[in-house]
Amino acid sequence: MAIQDIYPTALRLLGRPVLVVGGGPVAARRAKGLLDAGARVTVVAPVASAALQELADAGLLTWEQRPYRPEDVDGVWFVQTATGDSAVDTQVSADAEAQRIWCVNASDHEASAAWTPAVAVVDDVHIAVNAGGDPRRAMALRDAVATALETGDLPLRRRRAHRGSVALVGGGPGDTGLITVRGRRLLGQADVVVADRLGPRELLNELAPDVRVIEVGKTPGHHPVPQAEINRILVAEAQQGNRVVRLKGGDPYVLGRGGEEAEYCRHHGVEVEVVSGVTSAISVPAAAGIPVTHRGLAKGFSVVTGHEELSEVPARADHTVVLLMGVGQLRESASALGKAGLPLDTPVGIVENGYLPNQRVTIGTLGSIADQAEATGVANPAVIVIGDVVRVSPFAPSHFKTADYSTTTPNQPRTTASTNPRTTRVLTP
């Protein structure tokens, strides 16, 4: 049988009787797939594998512990034979053919009236691949298509009317490779994207032409679309039957007001999903080689905005402080931490545009960093890291090194050369 002889279709077997002849691993896999489709499965085999016995013991299928008989095909809708004995499989296939019942013959795909494709399910999309009777080739193709759907490289977007919903998607710090697989998939399904100024903006260029993008981005001190209006947009678009993705930078629940948006959606009866993202509070320091915790230097960290009162933050160099949106009040924040007892020689690192081509790192101390930032025009988006962990960064000067900063090479001299070609400048005191 040539591949051109195949007419692809899908069987709906819910509640319908089917027959599996054989008790080995292939028969077990096919029986499991038929059960997943809702079929009433009977297995005929003198001996059954442990997997089949477990299904029978659980009452999920009926196992007839005996050899096959021609009358076994009477009244069934579909037959799968996989005995490993070509003579038995051929007999089963012939008996099914005589009664015009579709039968898959695992022993001889060329003589089989039907083929079982390699199948994967992504959301409510079923992928079925036949590859000229080559099951390994079919599985490889199936996996490739499933991966492309999972990652959003192929469109999963519905085209018929459906119930509207909202997904709050954390897009990470801006690099398109740092959005989660789930977030990327939902973006590929969206009818409407409500986008922030930060996050993986390049992904918007990959959307279908008829996907609407509503810009609601904010900058420090400038909120052209108030939060109340953003909430209203999300609900209004979903109530019109649209799949809405709220694409946010970082994580929607880390200083991103995602909790307010989710609560508003639920209050108005709109289904909402929250997809965590790679928060810039941790990932952007990492882009400059700064861990927020490090053995021997810091066991904990606090994340605050530059607008928050810092009096409750531990004023110790071994407790990392991460400031988001803190450039505008950097001098005041440094002064507040100094007055709280944090030494003025505590290392401070500022990472602008983390993971982007124009990333820039500025390293100084609590006492010098405000002057450095003003002199060089440091601007948002930026993450500020305060604490001894800054000493670990490859961009830190050699005199920042301490004897206990490393658990592997505590006495090796520090290099100040950049290992990140995208970092355009390193500033130190």
Query: Architecture of domain 165-278 in CATH?
Result: 3-Layer(aba) Sandwich (3.40)
Among 290, 296, 313, 428, which Cα is nearest to 368's?
428
DSSP character at residue 122: E
Given CATH 3.30.950.10, say whether it is the number of domain 282-427.
yes
Secondary structure class of 149 (helix, strand, coil): helix
**What is the Cα–Cα distance from 356 to 363, expressed in whole angstroms?**
18
Using CB atoms within 10 Å of the CB of residue 409, give its burial: 0 to 12 exposed, 13 to 18 middle, 19+ buried. exposed
Measured CA to CA in angstroms, residue 370 lies from 242, 309, 365 at distances of 46, 18, 9
**What is the Cα–Cα distance from 221 to 198, expressed in whole angstroms?**
15
pTM above 0.85, yes or no: no
Active site residues: 196, 218
Secondary structure class of 298 (helix, strand, coil): strand
Task: Quote the strand ranges of 45-191, DSSP E.
Answer: 62-64, 78-81, 102-105, 118-122, 125-129, 165-170
| 340 phi and psi angles, rounded to 5 deg | -80, -5
Q: Which residues contact 426 (CB under 8 A, 6 or more apart)?
A: 361, 362, 363, 395, 416, 418
Same fold? 3-116, 165-278:
no
Using CB atoms within 10 Å of the CB of residue 258, give its burial: 0 to 12 exposed, 13 to 18 middle, 19+ buried. buried
**What is the Cα–Cα distance from 294 to 127, expressed in whole angstroms?**
45
User: What is the full per-residue pLDDT of the chain (429 aa) written as tens digits?
Assistant: 444 677 888 889 999 999 999 999 999 999 999 999 999 999 999 999 999 999 999 999 999 999 999 999 999 999 999 999 999 999 999 999 999 999 999 888 777 888 888 888 877 788 888 777 777 888 888 888 888 887 777 777 776 667 899 999 999 988 888 999 899 989 988 999 999 988 888 999 988 888 999 999 866 656 688 999 999 999 999 999 999 999 999 999 988 899 999 999 999 999 999 999 999 999 999 999 999 999 888 999 999 986 667 888 888 889 999 998 899 999 999 999 999 899 999 999 999 999 888 999 999 999 999 999 999 999 988 999 999 999 999 888 888 876 555 555 544 433 444 444 444 444 544
Q: Classify domain 3-116 at the CATH topology level.
A: Rossmann fold (3.40.50)
Q: What is the pLDDT of residue 108?
A: 82
Q: Where along the chain do its domains lie?
A: 3-116, 165-278, 282-427
Helices (H), 103-221: 135-150, 181-189
